[in-house]
């Protein structure tokens, strides 16, 4: 018996949409009930105030580290509620557009309602994640029309209930927004390649430009779009001129959308007027005529240059017990194997087997030629960050790859008739994923699969946004209240002053003083600046997990460990 009898899908369409609504509602419950109890994470700290300043002042220089769109969207609920931006005269001129400086100024001004502001802004990310699941549903229906109903539901479910995507679907960052807009751009490209016309070319250009306004990782879409269009030109020589001509139209439209996203501020500067600092853009500028007018916003180019400089310089990272600066080729493969739920790894492996079997039988499904649209961008992004970048800060950097792979997996499973055994296996994997996701609720950031040691041991594989991004100050505050601890020695990985969450603390200069010591797990693997009552002090890394200074008495959200040192009495 196979899934999907030969009958008209019309009478059964209603149940797929009903099931999609139920799945979306369940995702909404999981996301909302897990976002309120988590403190402001490292990057959220700067993103939201920047978005508020972009809306309030209309000055795109505030987007000097990332493009503006995701942060503008996140700040809309605050702007609608009348929360004012940071006054431009509150900061020194040199720091007026600084990412972190705006964050500190906003925290000090809004201390009483600080956490509530971020909870309100996080709803925007949740809504974007809902749209991402819906996009996966409709796209998979197009890729696998033979079993469109359950294939689309499988794609939406894999995305909505993957703990890694769910973790970032509740945060005010650019990662989930990039995933949505990058997939939207590829969806529009697929429609354009199917039916090259003015309408599809315009949609392709608009979505390509919108993706550039979210995060600089989307720049690689220009490479994938070009390669895929050339591949289709080779396969359809009769439409060569039409594909190339309309592809050029899409390129022009994308640049126009990008310029419009920066309100056309400082567009058309000459090459000689911009001093680039990264090796890549300095080399490119040297090849261009000095008086050439660039069709892109100066603020976009400067921010991109700063990101490239940061990527070539490298950041401290940690993998499998070793701290290092720069990049390792195996960083992201290890994360994918460690943080992907086992049922999803099983579904992926079997999908590869299904595709290889179809190719050996020389009977690939109609949509097999569109595999490149899903796998080429995923592979390119993985290669760039794994092989070329010296900045490796977590699985979030390749989050779009994860979503693309799950759509490919769902489309592959839905492309072939499945026997009863395969059907039962598919259902079992979906139930298994639901159990895994429910078990880790609400602590999605530190999720690791059982083979990697689970959430409690995952920090021995990788840290930073993979497990501890500064999200569990509320849990520490509750623990101190329950145990009657008035003050704690705190080594915290984050930017927020813990006083915002009602935590009395001091930052120890060395371990060993009797009392209670709370340590963020990221600091086991890498050093970081520590917040200390309005100032920053350098700290870490701390090898306490393997050689603790006392007795570990609590693990809070799988991200903060609490130790009791010496004869600590209540209130100490």
Return the HEC string of 50-69.
HHHHHHHHCCHHHCCCCCCH
Q: CB count, 10 Å around CB of 222? A: 14
In 3-state terms, what secondary structure has residue 488?
strand
| Mean pLDDT of all residues in 178-203 | 96
Query: What's the CA gap between 276 and 298, in Å, rounded?
Result: 11
Q: How far is CA 353 from CA 346, 349, 398, in A?
A: 11, 6, 24
Chain centre distance of CA 85:
25
Band of pLDDT at residue 4, cut at 50, 70 and 90: very low
Among 187, 180, 198, 300, CA closest to 245? 198
Do the Cβ atoms of 79 and 52 come closer than 8 Å?
A: yes
Contact (CB, 8 A) for 347 and 432: no
Write out pLDDT tens, residues 22-38.
Answer: 999 999 999 999 999 99
* Mean pLDDT along residues 251-259: 97
Predicted confidence band of residue 89 (pLDDT cuts 50, 70, 90)? low
Token digits of residue 386: 């794994």
Which tens digits make up the pLDDT trace of 541-557? 676 655 667 888 999 99
- Asked whether residue 495 carries a pLDDT value surpassing 80, the answer given is yes
Asked if residue 140 has pLDDT above 90, the reply is yes
Q: Which residues contact 311 (CB under 8 A, 6 or more apart)?
A: 389, 390, 391
Pairing of strands 322-325, 316-319: antiparallel
Closest by Cα among 41, 46, 50 to 79: 50
DSSP 566: S
Map residue 1 onto helix, strand or coil: coil
- Per-residue pLDDT at 336 exceeds 60: yes
Contact yes or no for 302/64 (Cβ under 8 A) = yes
Query: Quick one: average pLDDT of 516-539?
Result: 85
Confidence of residue 88 (pLDDT cuts 50, 70, 90): low
Angle between helices 175-194 and 114-143 (to 10 degrees): 20
pLDDT at 536 over 90: no
Which pLDDT belongs to residue 546? 58
7, pLDDT greater than 50 = no
Backbone phi, then psi, for 276, in 5-degree steps? Answer: -80, 150
* pLDDT, the chain, mean: 89
What confidence category does residue 145 fall into, taking pLDDT thresholds of 50, 70 and 90?
confident
Compute the average pLDDT of residues 99-109. Answer: 90
Mean pLDDT of 551-570: 85
Mean pLDDT to the nearest integer, 182-191 = 96
pLDDT at 316 over 90: no
Q: What pLDDT is stored for residue 362 in this prediction?
A: 58
Residue 1 has pLDDT above 60, yes or no: no
d(CA 128, CA 134): 10
Helix (H, G, I), strand (E, B) or coil at 246: helix
Q: Which helix (H) or strand (E) holds 157?
A: helix 148-160
Residues 250, 198: Cα–Cα separation, whole Å = 9
Model pLDDT for residues 259-284, shown as the tens digit of each residue: 999 999 999 999 999 999 888 899 99
- Mean pLDDT on 558-571: 78
The answer to whether residues 412 and 351 touch, using CB atoms and an 8 Å cutoff, is: yes
How many other β-carbons are positioned within 10 Å of the β-carbon of residue 71?
29
For residue 521, pLDDT over 80 is answered with yes
**pLDDT above 50: residue 9:** no
363-372, 417-426, 454-463, 553-562: least confidently modelled range: 363-372
The CA distance from 75 to 58, in Å, is 13
Residue 425 burial (CB count, 10 A): 16
Q: How far is 176 from 188, CA to CA, in rounded Å?
A: 19
Cα R_g (the chain), whole angstroms: 25
Percent of the chain with pLDDT strictly greater than 70: 92
Question: CA–CA distance from 552 to each of 1, 210, 527, 556, 564 (Å)?
Answer: 55, 48, 21, 11, 6
pLDDT number for residue 326:
80
- What is the reported pLDDT for 363? 54
The CA distance from 182 to 184, in Å, is 5
Q: Residues near 190 by Cβ (< 8 Å), separated by ≥ 6?
A: 139, 142, 370, 373
> Hey, how many other C-beta atoms are within 10 angstroms of the C-beta on 35?
21
pLDDT band at 223 (very low <50, low <70, confident <90, very high): very high
Contact residues for 358 (Cβ-Cβ < 8 A; gap 6+): 364, 365, 368, 415, 416
Predicted structure pTM score: 0.93
Which two structure tokens, joined as six digits, stand for 474? 């509320």
Query: Is the separation of the CB atoms in 558 and 455 below 8 Å?
Result: yes
């Amino acid at each position: 018996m196979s899934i999907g009898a030969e009958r008209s899908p019309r009478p059964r369409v209603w149940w797929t949409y009903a099931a999609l609504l139920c799945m979306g509602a369940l995702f909404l419950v999981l996301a909302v009930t897990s976002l309120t109890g988590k403190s402001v994470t490292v990057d959220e700290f700067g993103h939201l105030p920047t978005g508020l300043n972009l809306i309030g002042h209309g000055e795109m220089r505030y987007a000097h580290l990332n493009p503006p769109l995701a942060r503008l969207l996140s700040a809309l609920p605050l702007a609608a509620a009348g929360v004012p931006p940071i006054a431009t005269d509150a900061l020194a001129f040199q720091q007026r557009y600084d990412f972190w400086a705006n964050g500190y100024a906003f925290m000090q001004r809004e201390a009483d309602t600080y956490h509530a502001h971020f909870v309100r802004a996080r709803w925007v990310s949740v809504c974007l994640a809902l749209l991402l699941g819906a996009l996966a549903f409709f796209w998979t229906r197009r890729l696998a029309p033979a079993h469109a109903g359950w294939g689309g539901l499988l794609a939406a479910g894999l995305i909505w209930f993957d703990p890694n995507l769910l973790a970032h679907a509740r945060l005010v960052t650019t990662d989930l927004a990039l995933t949505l807009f990058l997939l939207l751009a590829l969806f529009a490209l697929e429609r354009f390649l199917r039916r090259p016309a003015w309408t599809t070319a315009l949609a392709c250009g608009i979505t390509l430009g919108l993706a550039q306004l979210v995060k600089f990782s989307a720049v690689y879409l220009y490479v994938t779009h070009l390669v895929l269009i050339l591949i289709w030109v080779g396969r359809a020589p009769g439409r060569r001129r039409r594909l190339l001509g309309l592809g050029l139209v899409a390129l022009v439209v994308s640049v126009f959308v990008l310029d419009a996203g920066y309100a056309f501020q400082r567009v058309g500067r000459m090459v000689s007027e911009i001093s680039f600092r990264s090796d890549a853009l300095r080399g490119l500028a040297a090849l261009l005529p000095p008086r050439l007018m660039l069709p892109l916003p100066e603020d976009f180019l400067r921010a991109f240059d700063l990101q490239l400089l940061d990527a070539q310089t490298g950041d401290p990272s940690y993998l499998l017990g070793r701290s290092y600066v720069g990049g390792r080729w195996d960083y992201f493969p290890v994360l994918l194997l460690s943080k992907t739920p086992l049922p999803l790894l099983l579904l992926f492996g079997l999908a590869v087997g299904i595709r290889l079997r179809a190719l050996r039988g020389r009977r690939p499904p109609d949509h097999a030629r569109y595999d490149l649209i899903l796998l080429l961008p995923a592979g390119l992004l993985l290669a760039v960050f794994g092989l070329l970048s010296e900045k490796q800060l977590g699985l979030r950097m390749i989050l779009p790859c994860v979503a693309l792979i799950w759509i490919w997996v769902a489309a592959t499973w839905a492309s072939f008739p499945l026997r009863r055994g395969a059907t039962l296996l598919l259902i079992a994997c979906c139930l298994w994923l639901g159990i895994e996701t429910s078990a880790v609720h609400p602590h999605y950031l530190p999720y690791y699969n059982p083979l990697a040691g689970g959430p409690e041991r995952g920090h021995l594989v990788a840290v930073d946004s993979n497990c501890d991004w500064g999200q569990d100050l509320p849990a520490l505050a509750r623990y101190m209240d329950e145990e009657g601890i008035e003050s704690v020695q705190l080594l915290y990985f984050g930017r927020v002053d813990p006083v915002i969450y009602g935590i009395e603390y001091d930052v120890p200069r060395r371990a060993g003083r009797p009392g209670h010591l709370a340590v963020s797990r990221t600091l086991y693997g890498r050093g970081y600046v520590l917040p200390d009552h309005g100032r920053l002090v350098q700290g870490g890394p701390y090898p306490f997990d393997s050689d603790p200074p006392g007795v570990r008495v609590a693990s809070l959200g799988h991200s903060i460990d609490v130790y009791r040192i010496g004869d600590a009495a209540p209130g100490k």
